[in-house]
Structure 1
Amino acid sequence: MCGRFTLISPASKIGELLSLAEIGAFPPRYNIAPTQPILVAMADGERHGGNESGRRALLARWGLIPAWAKDPRELPLLFNARSETAAEKAAFRGAMRYRRCLVPADGFYEWQVQGKRRQPFLLRPRSREPFCFAGLMETYLAADGSEIDTAAILTTAANETLLPIHQRMPVVVPQGAYQRWLDCRGYAPAEVADLMASAPEDFFEAIPISDKVNSVANVSPDLQDPVPLAPQAANTAPAPSQLDLF
């Protein structure tokens, strides 16, 4: 699962990562939560070749709304999509085939259940370099005629490194596969299924942090300061979440 993440690298570095000729400046964000706007990159179908990679960046609401939805309030908040079933689920099938995207990040947060307590962790690359989640994008036409770009992050089974913390983890797309993931015309979902694997065991490091991250109102850098880990944390099995169903 991925319910919070962080993007603190400067826009210039994200532009380089995504091979974007232009990208607007944005402030560092330490506690990005569902329903908030997130940065995504897509293949630029309308003016392919407009930059070297044929990609464009845009902001989307984190929480996908299927195009066919009549009243989004009647749907659960679809901020994650299970990679194993996204190509068949009605909510994600169209986006998986035609509107795959990349979601840049510097890390994400996950909570380990310890009895009645939940210990938060920052999961960040050992390289300390930004990376991209596999995402899906859908534009929803509201009843008033306005259009809302929305997105979800794909998840997969946790690798052995993360499994003691949680059973699921977001899909990380290798940088060399960005073009294949975004090329929905050239590659059907079955042809990118190999990209939806768990990240390599040595990709992330797990940093125990304070419960300040629990509140979306807390957005300061000290959210990521390490804290001592309780001894029982290493022996606590992860608990399933009902949100993993999506």
Structure 2
Amino acid sequence: MCGRFTVSVTLDELKQYLYDNYDIDEMNKDFDLPRYNIAPGQSIISIINDRSKNRVGLLKWGFIPGFEKDEKTSLNIINAKAETLHQKPSFITSFQNKRCIIIADGFYEWKNADGKKIPMHIQLKNKQLFPMAGLWNTFTRSDGTKIHTCTIITTEANEMMSEIHNRMPVILTEDARKIWLNPDHKDLNELNHLLKPYDTRQMESYQVSTFVNHVANDGPKCLEKIK
């Protein structure tokens, strides 16, 4: 599962990352950064490809399938299992046609230990931003207005993550993210092969305070290490 994550960089650092990795040199709006405790229901920084170029914007975290009729009673799915994307009516259309990347530099997971849930922060050893695989969809409300939503794809845990939780978000390699964003790639078997656990040797984790448990708490304290 992936229920919280971080983008703890400055706006200028994000802009440089987007330019260097996605050839994005303009944004329609300035994002509120840094963020230390991003939660479901919030708008998150996402990248899609419109067949001519990559674009960055905000998608609401909580996927609403196309067949839903009422936004208020919809499932608002925050995670989708990589292993069953091709089988689920909720995701099949987006899997083929509406793939996105969600930007993060870390995520949280709660480790069970002696009946207690211990918050852990997981990141790359190089402390850099990374692309998580996602799906997006547009939901049209009864009044004609639209909302653009997304979900983060998860896969089985790698060796490091298995000590914390049995699932983890799909972090895409450089080659995989290019294929994932390309709307001309529609072979579901090929796409599914991209959704693998990330190299455990490139990741690290550490315990943080239960301060992060509360969604309203969003500051550097969320990332402070507990010795």
Q: Which category of TM-score, normalised to the shorter sequence, fits these structures? A: over 0.9
Checking the alignment, whether the CA contact within 8 Å between 1:103 and 1:132 is kept in structure 2 is yes
Q: CA deviation at 1:120?
A: 0.3
Structure 2 CA distance for aligned equivalents of residues 186 and 3 of structure 1: 28
Checking the alignment, whether the CA contact within 8 Å between 1:180 and 1:187 is kept in structure 2 is no
* Range 188-197 or range 167-176, more displaced: 188-197
Structure 2 CA distance for aligned equivalents of residues 28 and 5 of structure 1: 12
Deviation sequence 1:52-78 (CA, Å, 0-9, x none): xx1111211000001210123333330
Letter in 2 for 1:5: F
Partner residue of 1:19?
23
Letter in 1 for 2:17: I
Q: CA deviation at 1:164?
A: 1.0
Partner residue of 2:219?
220
Partner residue of 1:43?
49
Partner residue of 1:5?
5
- Residue among 29, 33, 39 paired with 2:35: 29
Partner residue of 2:85?
86
Checking the alignment, whether the CA contact within 8 Å between 2:155 and 2:168 is kept in structure 1 is yes
Q: What runs of 5+ residues in structure 1 fail to find an aligned partner? A: 49-53, 229-246
Q: CA deviation at 1:190?
A: 1.4
Q: Indicate the SS of the match to 2:96.
A: helix
Higher helix share: 2
Letter in 2 for 1:192: L
Q: Indicate the SS of the match to 1:160.
A: coil
Structure 1 CA distance for aligned equivalents of residues 74 and 85 of structure 2: 16
TM-score of the superposition, structure 2-length normalised?
Answer: 0.93
Q: CA deviation at 1:219?
A: 0.3
Q: CA deviation at 1:96?
A: 0.5
Deviation sequence 1:1-46 (CA, Å, 0-9, x none): 100000122322331333212134322111000000001101113x
Deviation sequence 1:217-246 (CA, Å, 0-9, x none): 100111101002xxxxxxxxxxxxxxxxxx
Structure 2 CA distance for aligned equivalents of residues 174 and 55 of structure 1: 17
Structure 2 CA distance for aligned equivalents of residues 205 and 192 of structure 1: 27
Checking the alignment, whether the CA contact within 8 Å between 2:97 and 2:186 is kept in structure 1 is no
Structure 2 CA distance for aligned equivalents of residues 192 and 90 of structure 1: 17
Percent identity of paired positions between Structure 1 and Structure 2: 34
Q: Indicate the SS of the match to 1:86.
A: helix
Letter in 2 for 1:87: H
| Superposition map of 1:130-169 within 5 A | 130-169=129-168
Letter in 2 for 1:78: I
Structure 2 CA distance for aligned equivalents of residues 102 and 57 of structure 1: 9
TM-score of the superposition, structure 1-length normalised?
Answer: 0.86
Checking the alignment, whether the CA contact within 8 Å between 1:111 and 1:166 is kept in structure 2 is yes
Letter in 1 for 2:30: A
* Cα RMSD, aligned residues only: 1.3
Structure 2 CA distance for aligned equivalents of residues 156 and 19 of structure 1: 28
Q: What runs of 5+ residues in structure 2 fail to find an aligned partner? A: none
Q: Indicate the SS of the match to 2:41.
A: coil
Partner residue of 2:111?
112
